[in-house]
Structure 1
């Protein structure tokens, strides 16, 4: 499934991402299950977690050192937020 492009990513506590899509959908994605091991463990640092950014064209998100989560995973597993 092709997911819509992300127009905004906002880190929120505790270790979640609020994602806004071009469709107007807003989804909350919990990153906590990913925060383990040497690669994703760095996301457990709250200051570092806040550095998440939107990739050009809204095709995904990433952190400063290259950690990312597949865009389809963000969309399919994000919890739709009410308006």
Structure 2
């Protein structure tokens, strides 16, 4: 699995995730917003506070809300920012 080097919160509850191999994927988190603890991310300011975890093995907002690189890689949609 490829490590994450960058993540950005985009409009409409989507994440733009850049992996170490240069692939960029868009991950739509809307389907998780009604699950605990992801419902906290309905607050847009909180959603935008996403960060890459140390080592690049996932992303997180706090110690309870996180997503693994596996989830983001397998369920994200490859995009081009060109």
Q: Decide whether aligned partners of structure 1 residues 38 and 60 sit closer, same or farther in structure 2, where only a CA change above 3 A counts.
A: closer
2:44 corresponds to? 46
Q: Secondary structure at the match of 2:31?
A: helix
Task: Name the TM-score, length of structure 2 as normaliser.
Answer: 0.90
Match of 1:55 among 40, 53, 56: 53
Which structure 2 segments of 5+ residues have no match?
none
Which structure 1 segments of 5+ residues have no match?
none
Q: Secondary structure at the match of 1:11?
A: strand
Aligned mates of 1:76, 1:21 — CA distance in 2: 12
Aligned mates of 1:56, 1:38 — CA distance in 2: 24
Aligned mates of 2:63, 2:18 — CA distance in 1: 23
- Bigger mean CA offset, 35-44 vs 55-64: 35-44
Q: Which has the higher strand share?
A: 2
Task: Name the TM-score, length of structure 1 as normaliser.
Answer: 0.89
| Residue pair 1:51, 1:64 contacting (<8 A) in 2 also | no
Q: CA RMSD in A?
A: 1.2
Moved over 3 A (4+): none
